[in-house]
Amino acid sequence: MNDAEIIEKTIAYVRQELENAEGGHDWFHIQRVFRNTLLIAKEENVDVLTVSLAALLHDIADAKFHGGNEKVGPQKARGFLKTLGVPRGVRNHVITIIRNVSYKNSLENRQEKFDSPELQVVQDADRLDALGAVGIARAFSYGGYAGRKLYDPEIPPKPKMSKAEYKKNTGPTINHFYEKLLLLRDMMHTDTGRKLAEHRHQFMLEYLEEFFREWKGSV
Ligand code: ADP
Ligand code: NI
Closest residue (by CA) to atom 27 of ligand 1?
A: 139
Ligand 1, residue 138: give the atom nearest the CA: 16
Q: Which CATH architecture has domain 3-216?
A: Orthogonal Bundle (1.10)
Cβ of 96 below 6 Å from ligand 1: no
Q: How many angstroms does the Cα of residue 127 sit away from the middle of ligand 2?
A: 8
Task: For residue 155, report the phi and psi dihedrals to the nearest 5 degrees.
Answer: -110, 105
User: Could you give the CA distance from residue 84 to residue 70 in angstroms, rounded to a whole number?
Assistant: 23
- Residue 80: Cβ within 10 Å count: 20
Q: Rounded to whole angstroms, how far apart are CA atoms 136 and 138?
A: 5
pLDDT at 111: 57
CA distance 75 to 98: 10
Q: Quick one: what percent of the chain has pLDDT higher than 70?
A: 98
Q: How many CB atoms are located within 10 Å of the residue 30 CB? A: 25
pLDDT digits (tens, 9 = 90+) for 53-90: 999 999 998 888 888 888 888 999 999 999 998 999 99
82-125, pLDDT tens digit by residue? Answer: 999 899 999 999 999 999 999 888 787 765 689 999 999 999 99
CA of 219 from ligand 2 middle (Å) equals 35
142-193 pLDDT, tens digit each: 999 999 999 999 999 998 898 889 888 999 999 999 999 999 999 999 999 9
